[in-house]
Amino acid sequence: LAPAACRLGELLGADVAFATDTVGESAEATVTGLADGQVAVLENLRFNAGETSKDDAERAAFADRLAGLADVYVGDGFGAVHRKHASVFDLPARLPHYAGHLIAT
């Protein structure tokens, strides 16, 4: 997702930090280093087995680690909200959550 983070930065007219993992050292350092108003992109969640695990405990543990990196959850993946994945099923239960534009309309 590094190219996507670069393009997002171009569109925003601001630097976008990129973490080379989802919940590890890079993600934690990247998120911790953000100032108010800055944006970060984490590497693809699918690279972590907990994202799509059929084991509820494994999926929940991954969601717990993701929640530790965020303040709120905005779900805008219309094509994914029906899936029982950590990022769209378990994570919203751990954070204040809102529907994004694609979901709300």
- pLDDT of 88: 95
The string of pLDDT tens digits covering residues 7-54 is: 999 999 999 999 999 999 999 999 999 999 999 999 999 999 999 999
- pLDDT of 82: 87
- pLDDT of 78: 85
The 10 Å Cβ neighbour count of residue 27 is: 21
Strand 16-19 to 97-99 pairing:
unpaired
**Taking CA 25 as the corner, what is the angle to CA 20 and CA 28, rounded to the nearest 5 degrees?**
90
Query: Scanning the structure block, which residue is given the tokens 């080379």?
Result: 20
- pLDDT exceeds 90 at position 93: yes
